[in-house]
């Protein structure tokens, strides 16, 4: 008998039929003898609908009240799912985030979990009940309701799994697991059997939208195994887990793709301390999420600074920078839209030199020009023209032979 946290996203509980299907899945697990805690998101588009209601009231909704509003979505899901299970004569009990013992800091709409005291959850589990918990929400020290930001239900699930000492946290989704790349671009893309937290973090940061990055960080910190799998099949998905040495036999685990980026270049910025801090500080204040940053070597006391932002933020970014241009002493600001980012990720890179060179060669052979390069210990990312993006993904996937399944021996070693 193990204790499992099962997390279902909004699309899995979008309507009555889907909720009933999730209920069956959960009951099946409980009947096998496992203790089950379920974390759910708001049904389907409910969060968007609630935001739209708020927009009709004000263009600048009070954040505390926004949290009060949005928290209702998950409360609807937990009640309906619990009803669906009770309907079949199995005992289930739903808890809001605050009832489940989630405590967070004082910030609103993107609060951080401080601790979880799952007293009610543990009591219900001890009684043999299936526990249904609202993701995305917590209580703060003022006893106000706060939310954890988009994708916060993943975080709720992993953090709760840690708090109740679950054996595994299962993230149910509409894909079968984490793939070597987007199968819509590369049909030969394979499901990855297991991947380290760090690789998964790089993939998430590089545009693979399987899981929210903060939840992977928490999983890593407490070594909680995370199983990403399909709501619609019983197939094993992808296990995100602590890095083990034989993982390194796989040099590159996956290719991530972010298809809409904009490149901003600030020309001839004086090379003196504090310039970058001022510029990026102003952008952070406006909530612009800056990605790759590259600074050229100074020539005659001046630099060019380039960075990328999500395509949707380009206008806002330019507005902020144009205001600052004078005080920065820059000669010009150029925005290049329609760029894409292709990243290869793998813990094996640390021990296998030449990954970057192989990646660059693959792109060069395909006559794709690389606009910007950024690397981490386990990632090489290239910015290319959007029109070259998908081709670059296919070339990288092929160059690293990601379509080839690993030998059974290797897989057996990895699943001891």
Residues that bind its own copies (CB under 8 A): 15-16, 19-20, 50, 53-54, 56-58, 60-62, 64-66, 68-69, 71-72, 75-76, 78-80, 82-84, 86-87, 93-94, 96, 99, 120, 143, 145
Of 82 and 181, which has the nearer Cβ to its own copies? 82
Least distance (Å) between residue 353 CB and its own copies: 55
Check: CB of residue 137 under 8 Å from CB of residue 96. yes
Of 58 and 369, which has the nearer Cβ to its own copies? 58
Of 94 and 343, which has the nearer Cβ to its own copies? 94
Least distance (Å) between residue 126 CB and its own copies: 15
Least distance (Å) between residue 86 CB and its own copies: 4
Of 42 and 279, which has the nearer Cβ to its own copies? 42
Q: Measure CA 79 to chain center.
A: 26
| Residue linked to tokens 């005291």 | 117
Check: CB of residue 406 under 8 Å from CB of residue 386. no
Element (H, E) at 341: strand 332-345
Of 88 and 114, which has the nearer Cβ to its own copies? 88
Least distance (Å) between residue 144 CB and its own copies: 8
Least distance (Å) between residue 128 CB and its own copies: 16
Q: How far apart are CA 86 and CA 25, in angstroms?
A: 14
Q: How far apart are CA 9 and CA 372, in angstroms?
A: 35
The angle at the Cα of 361, spanning 246 to 348, to the nearest 5 degrees, equals: 10
- Cα torsion angle, 14, 2, 214, 210, sign: negative
Of 41 and 313, which has the nearer Cβ to its own copies? 41
Least distance (Å) between residue 118 CB and its own copies: 14
Task: Report the candidate in 237, 112, 118, 125 with the shortest Cα–Cα distance to residue 173.
Answer: 237
- Count CB-CB contacts under 10 A for residue 2: 12
């Amino acid at each position: 008998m193990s204790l499992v946290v099962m997390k279902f996203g909004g699309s899995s509980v979008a309507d009555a039929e889907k909720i009933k299907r999730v209920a069956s899945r959960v009951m099946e697990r409980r009947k096998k003898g496992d203790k089950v805690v379920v974390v759910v998101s708001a049904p389907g588009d409910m969060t968007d609908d609630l935001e739209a209601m708020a927009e009709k009231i004000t263009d600048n909704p009070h954040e505390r009240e926004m949290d009060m509003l949005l928290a209702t979505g998950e409360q609807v899901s937990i009640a309906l799912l619990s009803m669906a299970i009770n309907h079949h004569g199995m005992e289930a009990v739903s808890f809001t985030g605050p009832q489940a013992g989630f405590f967070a800091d004082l910030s609103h709409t993107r609060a951080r979990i401080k601790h979880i005291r799952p007293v009610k959850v543990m009591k219900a589990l001890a009684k043999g009940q299936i526990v249904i918990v609202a993701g995305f929400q917590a209580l703060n020290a003022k006893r106000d309701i706060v939310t954890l930001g988009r994708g916060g239900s993943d975080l709720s699930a992993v953090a709760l799994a840690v708090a109740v000492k679950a054996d595994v946290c299962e993230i149910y989704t509409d894909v079968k697991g984490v793939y070597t790349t987007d199968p819509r671009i590369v049909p030969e893309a394979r499901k990855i059997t297991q991947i380290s937290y760090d690789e998964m973090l790089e993939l998430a940061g590089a545009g693979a939208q399987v899981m929210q990055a903060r939840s992977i960080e928490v999983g890593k910190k407490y070594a909680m195994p995370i199983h990403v799998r399909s709501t619609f099949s019983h197939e094993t998905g992808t296990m995100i887990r602590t890095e083990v040495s034989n993982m390194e036999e796989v040099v590159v685990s996956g290719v991530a793709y972010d298809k809409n980026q904009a490149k901003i270049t600030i020309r001839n910025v004086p090379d003196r301390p504090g310039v970058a801090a001022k510029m990026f500080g102003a952008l952070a204040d406006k909530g612009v999420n800056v990605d790759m940053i590259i600074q050229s070597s100074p020539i005659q006391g001046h630099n060019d600074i380039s960075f990328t932002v999500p395509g949707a933020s380009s206008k806002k970014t330019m507005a902020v920078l144009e205001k600052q241009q004078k005080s920065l002493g820059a000669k010009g600001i150029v925005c290049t839209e329609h760029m894409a980012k292709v990243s290869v990720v793998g813990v094996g890179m640390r021990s296998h030199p030449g990954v970057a060179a192989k990646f660059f060669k693959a792109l060069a052979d395909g006559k794709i020009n690389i606009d910007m390069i950024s690397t981490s210990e386990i990632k090489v990312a290239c910015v290319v023209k959007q029109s070259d993006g998908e081709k670059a993904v296919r070339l990288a996937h092929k160059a690293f032979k990601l379509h080839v399944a690993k030998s059974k021996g290797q897989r057996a070693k990895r699943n001891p």
